[in-house]
Amino acid sequence: MADTRDEPLVLGIETSCDETGVGVVRGTTLLADAVASSVDEHARFGGVVPEVASRAHLEAMVPTIQRALKDAGVSAKDLDGIAVTAGPGLAGALLVGVSAAKAYAYALGKPLYGVNHLASHICVDQLEHGALPEPTMALLVSGGHSSLLLSTDITSDVRPLGATIDDAAGEAFDKIARVLNLGFPGGPVIDRYAREGDPDAIAFPRGLTGPRDPAYDFSFSGLKTSVARWIEAKRAAGEEVPVRDVAASFQEAVVDVLTRKAVRACKDEGVDHLMIGGGVAANTRLRAMAQERCERAGIRLRVPRPKLCTDNGAMVAALGAEMVARNRAASDLGLSADSSLPVTEPHVPGAHAHSHDHDHVHEVSKDNLYS
């Protein structure tokens, strides 16, 4: 086994939504992936409540960091850097993670790297399948994002080819699950019901797939409305809704569009690798259809295991380690959370921050941060 001790040891913090994720990575080797989820606290509201998420991150932060360091068998003082999601995401939730990362970096005297959530979702695949090919085509699908991205250098060059113009794929799953009274979050439960249903039972529309439509953009709002109206019509007529067939037919419509456009983008750009990430990448039908279509097109498919597809600290640490390895500029302590950070900025170097913000950093007790 290769000696990895000279590779960068980085702790990553992810708080863009409702998961407090802390990962520890050495180079491209995952040492720890600790997660504290607040999903149960949001379930009764049928969706993520930003204030609830922020408070949950605040409570979970220090214990989750301590757990990750313990699981990794490393000391905080041995770290080569602290990476944190600077955006995009929920502003309040991001702020908790960024504030914690700045405090740890300051107290430990370690470089700070504010990184992009979407670029992190791409980079996490290195922990499972080794270094990313350059270029790599990435299809990112989650509750907040549906994007086709082309990366020639994950630390500095990520180009958006297409994105959702309305609902993200994961958001559509949540909404249809709610209409079917299946609970929240919708992705896993729709996937489960769909396995026992007929994907060809109902011909739901495929958004933005006409000859005049944008080649790489996505739209799931019309599909969501079509499914909801079909269900309402059945109920109004006093008929039983075939939940499994609805789930399977809806899921097939989403997955068909996602994989069709991703494979088309690979062909058009001459890229022979497709990476799929984000929470919806855990969907079993998406994985199966992507594999089938990629094999037919001569494209190599890379999909991380489901736990690494959902939001986690490992992906942030992975991108942070890559920043260190490639000598990218660290962020300074004026780093801000940016809820709309564009994917074209894989990280936020110090030049983007204001040096006078250092004046506002207060002394932090190291005893409270790490043991």
Q: Is residue 352's pLDDT more than 50?
A: no
Q: Is 187 marked as a binding-site residue?
A: yes
Mean pLDDT of 60-69: 97
Amino acid symbol at 152: T
Joined tokens for residue 321: 């380690």
* 9-124+312-369 CATH choice from 2.40.10.340, 3.30.420.40, 2.40.30.10, 3.30.110.60: 3.30.420.40
Kindly state the DSSP code that residue 331 receives in the 8-state scheme.
B
Q: Is 355 marked as a binding-site residue?
A: no
Q: Is residue 371's pLDDT more than 50?
A: no
- Residue 342: C-alpha distances to residues 88, 110, 117, 221, 281 (Å): 7, 26, 10, 23, 21
Q: Is 256 marked as a binding-site residue?
A: no
Q: Is 368 marked as a binding-site residue?
A: no
Q: Where in the chain is the domain with CATH 3.30.420.40?
A: 9-124+312-369, 133-306
Q: Is 174 marked as a binding-site residue?
A: yes
Q: Is 279 marked as a binding-site residue?
A: no
- Residue 257: C-alpha distances to residues 205, 236, 251, 346, 369 (Å): 10, 30, 10, 27, 46
Task: Give the model's pLDDT for residue 40.
Answer: 72
Q: Is 33 marked as a binding-site residue?
A: no
How many whole angstroms separate alpha carbon 317 and alpha carbon 281? 20
Confidence of residue 46 (pLDDT cuts 50, 70, 90): confident
Confidence of residue 18 (pLDDT cuts 50, 70, 90): confident
Task: Give the model's pLDDT for residue 278.
Answer: 93
In whole numbers, what is the pLDDT of the chain averaged over residues? 91
Mean pLDDT of 114-118: 97
Q: Is 117 marked as a binding-site residue?
A: yes
Q: Is 129 marked as a binding-site residue?
A: no
Q: pLDDT tens-digit profile of 251-301? A: 999 999 999 999 999 999 999 999 999 999 999 999 999 999 999 999 999
Mean pLDDT of 13-19: 93
Give φ, ψ of 348 to 5 degrees: -110, 100
Name the H helices within the chain: 39-43, 50-72, 91-108, 117-123, 126-129, 169-179, 186-194, 221-236, 243-269, 284-297, 306-309, 313-325, 366-369
User: How large is the angle between the packed helices 186-194 and 169-179, nearest 10 degrees?
Assistant: 70
Q: Is 311 marked as a binding-site residue?
A: yes
Q: Is residue 368's pLDDT more than 60?
A: no
Q: Is residue 363's pLDDT more than 50?
A: no
Task: Give the model's pLDDT for residue 354.
Answer: 40
Q: pLDDT tens-digit profile of 144-180? A: 889 999 999 999 999 999 999 999 999 999 999 999 9
Domain 133-306's class? alpha beta
